[in-house]
Structure 1
Amino acid sequence: MKVIKNYLFLLFLIISLVSCSSDDTENGTNNPDNNLNPLEYYQELNVPYGNNSDQVFDIYLPANRTLETEVMILVHGGGWSAGDKNDMNGFKDFLRSEFPNMGIVNINYRLADENNQPYPMQINDITSIINHLKTKQDYYVIDDDFAFIGVSAGAHLSLLWSYAFDVNNNIDMVCSIVGPTNFTDPAYLNNTNPELQILLDLYGLDATTEYLEEVSPYHRVTASAPPTILFYGGLDPLVPTTQGTAMRDKLQDLGVTHEFTLYPNAGHGWIGLDLLDTSFKLKAFIEAHFD
């Protein structure tokens, strides 16, 4: 019953777009040399990595960690213009339950508006977080390789950073749950959904094909991409099925290790047996490629 409750709570975060932020902080005990004590559990909320109030993350580190302790980075959705790291707390709880020896970083990033496009702003924020964690590797006592779980817009950012901006091969695995992958997809270019178009317009009202390819994981992926697991809903009003199937086919052509699951009757999130299936497959993929 406990497992089912955890998975059902995970659903709320998959479909959630907006949540409240938290300013609570709970720190572990530092060593005299100013590094954290790796024998103790450590948690800190709203760690700043920039000057903007949105440039913060929560970090959860297990006790008895070493410089080989893996760290999963969680990236929330919200159409690039909304959402909060608290939306991913269900994933955080799932990981802490299933992977107690794994570190977790749950991030916020600057949100887009009429004056600030998502790209490259949000990609730059992820770069800043990765650099922060690598610079403070000895302080936190963690590995310098990471993985992503992203939902919706957060999945798009996770894929794009992993495929196009991971110049040092620091990402070992990436998970996309209903993430957009290709902004040149005719299903996007010729869509008649006003809600969807508002989100796409964040990338520019008259964006060129070259620019749309630049911000599309589908067009940036190479044969050196990390293992990728993809989950999509066949009735999703915001992310057409082709966003998943085309990405799957591209990964297949490039020989990139991947898994793909389409739930034909699901939308931008799912429940019941589909949700359990996602949880089991994600756990197995993490065990195979990151844990």
Structure 2
Amino acid sequence: MKNLLIIPLLLLFLITGCGNSDDENNAPLEAQTLTDVSYGTDAQQKIDIFLPYDRSINTKVIVLLHGGSWVGGDKSDVASLVPVLKIQFPDHAIVNMNYRLATETSPAYPKQIDDIKSVLEHLKSNNYQISSNYAFIGFSAGAHLSLLYAYAYDTEHNVKAICDVVGPADFTDPNYTSHPLYPSASQVLVGSSSPTQEQIETINPVNHITTQSPPTISFYGGQDPLVPATQGPRLKAALDNANVYNEYNLYANGGHGDWDEATYADVYSKMTLFLKNRF
């Protein structure tokens, strides 16, 4: 009789024990903040990673790219956007990246595009428990890099949406080619103040737009002293011609992203709605 009682008790213990183990294995992952994570050997190749609570391999990722004319800037410049995104997208991971800055002897292209590739490869190869579905938010030079990478180099179409804030999009724009800063911009980008047609086409986002390009929202200033206001309409026309969903916003009195609080509130409101609908 005692043996008959012991067997059910052992079975109950085993079942209960297995249940506890499963509960532990299935416990939601805690939120994590990882700062200055290296994704390469250069000191500038650092990222901040913000991982949400209860993430999984389906967790989408928002990638931030700062501006600075390809020669300056830092991820700290856009760090204030992280808490805003956390509120609006609590289930998304956020990655704020630095990239190697251009110098007199080392132009921006191709190394800054290579850095985006390296960041995404790092995210894929490490066990962060996130997906390979990305949205880019880029500012100025970072917006140019976002557009160029997504349109020309994202062969697997993992970039699902782009938010472009005053990004150069078409270097063949007459208002750009006649701009006094155009020679220095091309020198920084490709190492030549008089780039060849092939070089221009290579770094020119609109040249790489296809029907498979990701949805894009853009924001430009009508009084921008650095990036001509005509860049927005030219980007929109190229996307429209390829039947790619896009939204174009012009702030007629705005400069190069140095906008007032009301304007930025409008930018982030439209950006949030765009990402919720398209990402």
Range of TM-score over shorter length: 0.7 to 0.9
Alignment partner, residue 19 of structure 2: none
TM value normalised by structure 2: 0.87
Please give the secondary structure, in 2, of the residue aligned with 1:211.
helix
Give the deviation of 1:198 after TM superposition: 2.8
Alignment partner, residue 285 of structure 1: 274
TM value normalised by structure 1: 0.83
Alignment partner, residue 198 of structure 2: 210
CA distance 1:241–1:100, change in 2 (3 Å): same
Give yes or no for contact 1:38–1:141 (8 Å, CA) kept in 2.
Answer: no
Alignment of 1:133-152 (within 5 A): 133-136=123-126, 139-152=127-140
Alignment partner, residue 115 of structure 1: 105
Which structure has the greater CA radius of gyration? 2
Alignment partner, residue 56 of structure 1: 46
Alignment partner, residue 200 of structure 1: 186
Asked if residue 90 in structure 1 is aligned to residue 93 in structure 2, the reply is no
Asked if residue 252 in structure 1 is aligned to residue 243 in structure 2, the reply is no
Please give the secondary structure, in 1, of the residue aligned with 2:79.
helix
4+ residue segments displaced more than 6 Å: none
Give the deviation of 1:274 after TM superposition: 1.9
CA distance in 1 between counterparts of 2:173 and 2:113 reads: 21
CA distance in 1 between counterparts of 2:124 and 2:28 reads: 16
Indicate the percent of aligned positions where both proteins have the same amino acid: 43
Please give the secondary structure, in 1, of the residue aligned with 2:63.
strand
CA distance in 2 between counterparts of 1:57 and 1:166 reads: 20
Alignment partner, residue 62 of structure 2: 72
CA distance in 2 between counterparts of 1:259 and 1:83 reads: 27
The gaps in structure 2 that reach 5 residues or longer are 1-24
Asked if residue 237 in structure 1 is aligned to residue 214 in structure 2, the reply is no
Number of aligned pairs?
Answer: 251
Write out per-residue CA displacement over residues 38-84 of structure 1, whole angstroms, 9 at most, x where no aligned residue: 52011110111111000110000011111111110000000000000
Among 157, 164, 180, the alignment partner of 2:168 is 180
Alignment partner, residue 36 of structure 2: 46
Please give the secondary structure, in 1, of the residue aligned with 2:80.
helix
Please give the secondary structure, in 2, of the residue aligned with 1:241.
coil
CA distance in 1 between counterparts of 2:29 and 2:273 reads: 27
Give yes or no for contact 2:162–2:214 (8 Å, CA) kept in 1.
Answer: yes
CA distance in 1 between counterparts of 2:157 and 2:260 reads: 34
